[in-house]
Amino acid sequence: MFGNQQYNIINSPLEQFEVTSLLGLNAPILGYLNISLTNLALYSLLVLFIIVSLHYMANNDTKLVPSKWSIALESVFASINSMVREQLGKELYLPFIYSLFFFILIANLTGNIPYSFTITTSIMVSIGLSFTILIAVTILGLSIHKLHFFSYFVPSGTPLALVPLLVLIELVSYLARAFSLGIRLFANMVAGHTLMKILATFLYQMFSGSLIVAVLTLIPFTLFLAIMGLELAVSFIQAYVFVILTCSYIKDAIELH
């Protein structure tokens, strides 16, 4: 009985998303101070370290002939730069968009390493990011257009009788962005990681059976490898989608439709 319970707890596919304290400081000062280095904090620092070291390694010392690393980074820079220029018209927001892309991308990719933690599977991080972006975009729109910003909620050419209804619909759709942006990232990452954990558990049990079963398990194992490839693709796609939607929200705030 006890053995079964322990077995279930260890193999829960959602266990990998648990935030646990690795190092803690509890002190009865300033009210009650509690600072913990959680696994999420460790991985976010790791993501920062990886991005900075990746850029440092790819630093070409302004040599004109680029290295392999700098070709990769320069092409990422060129594509994000052109995306920002096309959508927003100026490069003011490029550092934020570029950093956001790398933060989400490296966070997703480090999460694909077995037994690691993915920052973006935390609902607070992903929805916190999207909420912050929406609040910032609203403040940006208000500061540029002042009260005229609210014309965003009334599409041009709307009959007066329909205005109350349309304002309500537009307002709900505007506020839903705050959730949809974060939930899209969070749900994709959680679903992928849960699926991989469940499949890996099955495969482990089948591989540790008899020799014939283990050999036959190579067939579903190839499918599992394909799903791992899909997860890698999802890591890139989700980072790109998050960034491109952030760009279009900023564009909406600047241009008002």
Partner 1 sequence: MPQLIPFYFINQLSFSFLTLLALIYIISKYFLPLFTFQQVIRMYITKLNNK
Q: Which residues bind partner 1 (CB under 8 A)?
A: 14-15, 17-19, 21, 36, 38, 40-41, 44-45, 47-48, 51-52, 55, 59-60, 62, 64, 73-74, 77, 94-96, 98-100, 102-103, 119, 121-125, 128-129, 132, 186, 190
Question: Which of 199, 174, 192, 176 lies closest to 229 in space, CA to CA?
Answer: 192
Name the residue nearer to partner 1 (CB basis): 63 or 257: 63
d(Cα 40, Cα 122) in Å, to the nearest integer? Answer: 8
Work out how close the CB of 103 gets to partner 1 at its nearest, in angstroms, rounded to a whole number: 6
Dihedral, CA of residue 105, residue 106, residue 108 and residue 110, to nearest 10: 160
CA 183 to centroid of chain Cα atoms: 9
Name the residue nearer to partner 1 (CB basis): 125 or 234: 125
Work out how close the CB of 217 gets to partner 1 at its nearest, in angstroms, rounded to a whole number: 30
The three-state secondary structure class of 35 is strand
Name the residue nearer to partner 1 (CB basis): 45 or 163: 45
Work out how close the CB of 195 gets to partner 1 at its nearest, in angstroms, rounded to a whole number: 15
Name the residue nearer to partner 1 (CB basis): 100 or 234: 100
Structure tokens at 202: 């099955």
Question: Which of 49, 17, 249, 14 lies closest to 126 in space, CA to CA?
Answer: 17
How many other C-beta atoms are found inside a 10 Å radius of the C-beta of residue 120? 26
